[in-house]
Amino acid sequence: MSVSLILGDDDNFTNPLSVADSLEDVLNAWENPAMAGSHPDTTGEFSGTADNSWSSLIPDLSGDAYTYGNDTLGYAFEVTGDLYYFFNDIITPGGAGQTTDTHVVFGEIETITISTSMADIDGSALFTFDFTGDEITSALSEGQNGDIFEIIDDLMNGSTDTLQTVLSTDYGVNLADSVADLVAASPLSEELLLAA
């Protein structure tokens, strides 16, 4: 499995960290325990259209992007792919009964963008993990044990623990490597240099 790390704006790294520091250190510094419990007051937002019949059943709670964050805390992220938020007690389509969890986020993740503000997600975010071609997937039947639910739930609560586990276990990322080395070794780094 492969993932590319695309550097955004390293000026936004938490002082005194830089691209020379390990990915683990940078992700741990970006974590914000103050985000824990911020949901449901902060709900985040789905946008775009997910590519699946589920989106017609839950159009406001599905999409190709989900953003969440708090600019005051300097914490924001965006997840792209085909994402679906399923409420077992509200929606009972043909797939109902596949999970007993009350709510589940499932589908596939193509990218995860880490930022210090909602406004910077599209331009000068810290970096983006690009899983395109080797997406993170979770089925509805996995319920809240699926990687997608666990990653997004962790990020919403200010933690990168599940993301770090998936990166190291499923994608072979050495979290002790520097951000600069991981960017240079990323499959997309050569394409990005040629496009620059």
Each of the 196 residues of the chain gets a pLDDT tens digit; together they read 578 888 887 777 777 888 899 999 999 988 887 787 676 666 777 776 666 555 445 545 777 888 888 888 888 999 999 888 876 654 545 544 455 556 788 899 999 999 888 888 877 788 899 999 999 999 888 888 999 999 999 998 889 999 999 999 999 999 999 998 998 888 765 444 333 3
CA distances from 87 to 17, 157, 172 (A): 40, 20, 33
Q: Between the CA of residue 99 and those of 102, 108, 154, what are the distances in Å?
A: 8, 17, 20
The pTM of this model reads 0.85
Q: Go through the domains of the chain in sequence order and give each one's CATH number.
A: 4-189 (3.30.1500.10)
* CB atoms inside a 10 Å sphere around CB 42: 13
Tell me how far apart the alpha carbons of residues 9 and 61 are, in angstroms, rounded to a whole number.
30
